[in-house]
Structure 1
């Protein structure tokens, strides 16, 4: 008699155990009633009728997906290996279950093809220097395509751009040549600025002879401070002017005597 009551109680307990579901805050349950979509339930306590209702659980947390390494040919015909990381989450559990068979696999394949197609439109220099722009372009394309699956792409980051050894050496030579070019340009600009300053200084000294004398004395002072065996005899600038005047007078006298001798010869 007791056994006849015990069997239904056990069956009822087993039915309740199979019917009760508890979902945490970050999960939702997509419930189907006789194969047709009924509702999205959760979080908390959910009761499912076994055999009639079926529930598939979807995680709403951000998923970190590693995009496998892809062989990419850039626009300037350079082969590189690129991998990235993708961050996405489910915002619509109904679409994520109904619209696509496996939203994780579909998102991974979409990320791989988008990575190859976007990077193939850019040069190698752009891949190395404009990663933020490339990340935004890839994210926008994946987000637009996965929106119909109830997927929101939070971020895409390119991790590595691997190059061949020959290409690395070529880039190093290019960087070295660029630095040499910059050094030569800076040196030329310095020479140009120095020449302009020297012209200005010469104009100032030409206006006042005392400035040239002071510069001469400053040069002598600089030379005397150095440990050198050079002997310097200061010579005033006035003496130089006197010597120049004497040379001009002598040249004039020689010219006058030559003219006088030519005139005596002709009269004779």
Structure 2
């Protein structure tokens, strides 16, 4: 009878005892409130709480992987794109994460979305495609600075996809093709310039010594003789041709005046008849 009378009391004591026992894993911390006021952060392991007087909120201290939803934005050069990203962060101060902000995960997600739009909207499309590492660092720095008051450390931000419409894809392809053509022309022009410089240098060296020109002339004749052609062209050195050209350019001498037969007395004159 005595046991039956005290059985409800024993049940209440057992319930209070088991509700007072809390076990926290290695990656968990417990933010304990006593009569509504912050008391301390406890864990990991076994902790005891005073029922009704003390309450505990569990906080996961592991790195959280948060997927940022796709954001529609307009770049600085007025191109509409869709961008999504992933954010890696973790709670470093359990007290701030519970007290300073309501639902720190949702708050960090909303902040990541607005920061992603504001930062990427300040850059052009080419920078968005080519400078992802720099943009990731800029977004991470802004997020880490603003979430520091919430006891959150942003470890990394990665832009996953940058989607653009088909019209812009074709325009970018044409731009890339034009850029490759431009580079090919520049390389070809630089090669022509270097070849011309080498030819001028070789001509200057050969012109300093006539024997070099003769050797080059003999080498050319040897190469021509090796070809199986029916026509053979013999190049002439300029030192042989220049005197002939100079003689042809000299003015011709004027012809000598011929004697006038009427003045030279070639024909005899008849004497006057004497009467």
Give the TM-score normalised by the residue count of structure 2.
0.85
Instruction: State how far apart, in whole Å, the 2-side matches of 1:113 and 1:170 are.
Output: 29
Instruction: State how far apart, in whole Å, the 1-side matches of 2:91 and 2:240 are.
Output: 98
Cα distance 1:174–1:2, how it changes in 2: closer, same or farther (>3 A)?
same
Which secondary structure does the structure 2 equivalent of 1:77 belong to? coil
Asked if 2 retains the 8 angstrom alpha-carbon contact of 1:220 and 1:232, the reply is no
Equivalence for 1:196: 197
Which secondary structure does the structure 1 equivalent of 2:257 belong to? helix
The answer to whether structure 1 residue 71 and structure 2 residue 63 are counterparts is no
Give the TM-score normalised by the residue count of structure 1.
0.87
Point out where structure 2 has 5 or more consecutive residues left out of the alignment: 261-275
Cα distance 1:219–1:122, how it changes in 2: closer, same or farther (>3 A)?
same
The answer to whether structure 1 residue 150 and structure 2 residue 151 are counterparts is yes
Equivalence for 2:257: 265
CA RMSD of aligned residues (A): 2.5
The answer to whether structure 1 residue 232 and structure 2 residue 232 are counterparts is yes
Point out where structure 1 has 5 or more consecutive residues left out of the alignment: none
Instruction: State how far apart, in whole Å, the 1-side matches of 2:75 and 2:224 are.
Output: 62
Alignment coverage as a number of residue pairs: 259
Choose 1 or 2 for highest CA Rg: 2
Equivalence for 2:125: 124
Instruction: State how far apart, in whole Å, the 2-side matches of 1:63 and 1:230 are.
Output: 85
What's the CA shift string for 1:120-178, capped at 9, x where partnerless? Answer: 11111111111122111111111111111111111111111111111111111111111
**Structure 1 residue ranges (4+ consecutive) displaced by more than 4 angstroms after TM superposition:** 220-226, 233-237, 240-252
Instruction: State how far apart, in whole Å, the 2-side matches of 1:47 and 1:230 are.
Output: 111
Instruction: State how far apart, in whole Å, the 2-side matches of 1:217 and 1:22 are.
Output: 100
Instruction: State how far apart, in whole Å, the 2-side matches of 1:129 and 1:177 are.
Output: 18
Cα distance 1:151–1:221, how it changes in 2: closer, same or farther (>3 A)?
farther
Deviation at 1:225, TM superposition (A): 5.7
Instruction: State how far apart, in whole Å, the 1-side matches of 2:76 and 2:46 are.
Output: 55
Instruction: State how far apart, in whole Å, the 1-side matches of 2:240 and 2:80 are.
Output: 79
Equivalence for 1:98: 99
Equivalence for 1:81: 82
Instruction: State how far apart, in whole Å, the 2-side matches of 1:187 and 1:45 are.
Output: 76
Q: How does 1:1-268 map to 2 (within 5 A)?
A: 1-222=2-223, 228-232=228-232, 237=237, 245=243, 255=252, 258-259=253-254, 261=255, 264-265=256-257
What's the CA shift string for 1:59-100, capped at 9, x where partnerless? Answer: 111101010000010011100000011011111111111111
More helix by share: 1
